Every structure is written in C-alpha cells, then in structure tokens.
Amino acid sequence: MSRAKVIEFSEKIPKLAEWSKQFRYRSAVPRITLANPTIAAKGIQKIELPNVENMTAVEIYPGLGVWTKAMKDIGFKRVITLEPQHMYFTWLESMSKGLSGLEVLKKDGYDWEAYNELKDPKYIGALENKDWSQVHPDIFFTGTLPKGSRGEQLLAQFTTCIVNKMAMHSLGRIQMAFWIPDTLYQKYVAPPKNHIRCKMSVIVEACAKVDLICTTAPDDMYPSSLYHLISIVPYEKSQITAQWDVFEYVLKHLFVMQKRPLKHMVKTLGPGADIILGRLSFDPNILIGEMTAAQLNEVTIKFDQWPLRPRVLFEDASVFN
C-alpha cells in the first residue's frame, strides 16, 4: 500500500528522498510541487483576498496539496483542485477526508475540456458574474505550473483568455495567482526594451496587473527549484481594442525580429503594408522590442483599416502553441 494512503497529511510532508521514491510515476521524476507549508501560508496571506470565506478556489496541479491546505487554513469556503497524476491524486484524496470543502478531481488543467466541465452548476457554473467593473468576488483561480513548454503554454493561454473572456474568464473577471518557475516569470513580466520580451509579455501588459508575491528558497520546492508566486488581476478593459485575430497576426509577424525597426518589419504584414506608417501617432523607426502593447494595438487597427490587407490571416490559428 502506498504511504500516501496512510500518512496523515496535516502531520507530515514527506522528506525529499521519500517524495522522490513514493511519488515516482512510471519511472519518471515526479512533477514539481510546493513542499513548504510556511511559504504557502505566507503567500496566500500576502495576496490579501477579501472575504475568502465566500470564495471558491479552482486549483490546478496541486501535487502534495501544500498550497491547497494553505487556502483551506485561511478560510476558503471551497477548494476544487484538479490533479491528473495518480499518486498525487491518491495523496490528495486522503487529505480531503479531514478537510471539509475540499474536492479533488482527477482532471488535468492542461485539458481545455476540464474548464467546460467546471461550468457545471455543481462546481462553479452557478457563480457566473459577467460584470467586469469589479473583480469576481467569489472565484479565485490558482495553481503550480510545471516547468517547460507545458507551463509556458498554459500561462500564455490563460492570459489570452482574459482578453477573449474565455475558459475561466467566461465566468467573469477572475483574479489568478500561480507559482511559476523563474525563467517563465522573467519572460512574463519583461517590459519593452528587455531582450526576453515576447508575445506573451505584450499581452499581459495589455490586460492585467501582475504583482510578485513571494519567492521560494531552495528547499521549498520538490525538486529544488526557484519559483515565484505571482498575482494576476485582469483589467476591466484591455488595451487590445483591435480584433483579436488581426492583433495575433500582427504580433506573430512583427516579433520574428525584435531588433529591427517597425518601418522595416511592417512589410512582413503584406505587400504595401508600409502605407500605414504615416498614419501612426508615433515614430515608425521604433524597434519592435521597444514597442508597448498600446502601440502594437494601434498598428493593428491601422492595418485592419487598410483596404488591401490580406483577408486570410492564418492557415493554423494555434499561434501561441
């Protein structure tokens, strides 16, 4: 029998060696997980959420459930946690027996169908609030993102969902908080002129306020890794006012070469597209990597207004995959 079924969670988090052995999955290294209850408690307190006793948290990739328990300890009414990995799921099920208001679902936060299923009234469907003049008072979306391309794709897609009011954000203007690896954090918040600025950085600049809440020490994560907890609060109105598919097209083409000036890169949008340069409110000699989200939005609007722009923009719409 797995020790995950018999150890009382509230009494003991496994040591690193125990975790590595007990949670190994098909001979692979277990997915990274938060392992220090102290920093979890510090993090959830520093976010300063109002009226947590009325809130439902939706959590992805809980792993050992350290962040899960911190949310319950601070008074969340309900925590719905999605864990696809069998050994972690078993551990969390055992933990849930001693915590009222905790529901463990064997689902993967990477699977977009999971978010459709969450809209069932028995989960969070009944909490829909489409008034974007206020942050949703009853739903909090959180989790620990895995390292690598999967975590980056998820964060990019969650951010895009703010702009398009999709997935979790189809239910309202929902505050998010994620534990993310250092390399992803640096890309996510990279401002204009930063050499690691990317399409994702532009979109988050346009649609959300991002705050660094806290940073892990070496032993806070299994395996040891530098992670940051960030709070993401969507703006009431995004700076992206252009049609999303056109903005996506412009961003994809311009960001191929960030060190080139706009006056050169605009030609990649279509033959004759440089005609829009004289219609901009800023200097077209600006380098692509120095442009703000608002400037890129303006380029998109002028491009979209150009009668001769290409009408078929994508053969494959999965630009951020």
Say whether 83 counts as a known binding-site residue.
yes
Alpha-helical (H) ranges within 131-268 are 149-164, 182-188, 199-207, 244-254, 262-265
Query: Which DSSP symbol is given to 147?
Result: S
Alpha-helical (H) ranges within the chain are 16-22, 37-47, 66-74, 86-96, 113-118, 149-164, 182-188, 199-207, 244-254, 262-265, 293-305
SS3 content of the chain, % helix, strand, coil (to 5): 40, 15, 40
Say whether 269 counts as a known binding-site residue.
no
Quick one: how far is CA 193 from the chain centroid?
23
Taking a C-beta distance cutoff of 8 angstroms, is the pair 254, 265 a contact? Answer: yes
Say whether 129 counts as a known binding-site residue.
yes
Token pair for 148: 């690598």
Say whether 277 counts as a known binding-site residue.
no
Query: Which DSSP symbol is given to 226?
Result: -
Query: Residue 247 CB: number of other CB atoms within 10 A?
Result: 24
Q: Provide the annotated binding site for S-adenosyl-L-methionine.
A: 34, 83, 108, 129
Q: Which parts are annotated binding residues?
A: 34, 83, 108, 129
